[in-house]
Amino acid sequence: MKNRIAALSVASALALLSTGANAAIDDKKATDIMNKGGCTACHSVDKKGVGPSYKDVSKKRKSEKDVVATLVKKVRDGGAGAYGPVPMPPNAKEKMSDGDIKQLIEWVLTK
């Protein structure tokens, strides 16, 4: 009985820790990632600039299947045509990690 309780306690603790690791980032962390990656040169949360606002991206894309993976690839590789004629340049791994891009996209999709 004691072994079962101990095993359940460990499993519960691990579940809580893994949930925290995957928790959504807050606005400050998102801003830090955007500044590091240079995203703010073309994007803002609620106003169109050279690129679309994050609210526009969220509105257009959040219901798409596999949207996070699709947008991670788009941010990493760059692209054009989805929101206008100005192409988005690729983002080097030295500038932004895949994890940072994924967290930022998940944050964008909440806007």
Rounded Cα–Cα distance for residues 40 and 31 (Å): 9
Question: What pLDDT score was predicted for residue 44?
Answer: 95
Residue 57: name the closest of 1, 99, 111 by CA. 111
Task: Summarize pLDDT for 63-107 with one digit per residue, the tens.
Answer: 999 999 999 999 999 988 888 888 999 999 999 999 999 999 999
Question: What pLDDT score was predicted for residue 1?
Answer: 52
Asked whether residue 38 is domain-assigned, the answer is yes
Q: Is the dihedral of CA 65, 102, 104, 23 positive or negative?
A: positive
Is 10 or 91 the better-scoring residue by pLDDT? 91
Angle 54-61/98-108 helices, nearest 10 degrees?
80
Residue 105: name the closest of 41, 37, 17 by CA. 37
Which CATH number do you get for residue 45? 1.10.760.10
pTM of the predicted model as reported, rounded to 2 decimal places: 0.76
Asked whether residue 7 is domain-assigned, the answer is no
DSSP bridge partners of 88: 79
List phi, psi (to 5°) of 92: -70, 150
Question: What pLDDT score was predicted for residue 23?
Answer: 58
**Domains: count for the chain:** 1
Task: Summarize pLDDT for 15-67 with one digit per residue, the tens.
Answer: 433 334 455 899 999 999 999 999 999 999 999 999 999 999 999 999 999 99
Residue-number span of the structural domain to which 98 is assigned: 25-108
Asked whether residue 62 is domain-assigned, the answer is yes
How is residue 66 annotated by DSSP? T
Is 60 or 13 the better-scoring residue by pLDDT? 60
Question: What pLDDT score was predicted for residue 87?
Answer: 93
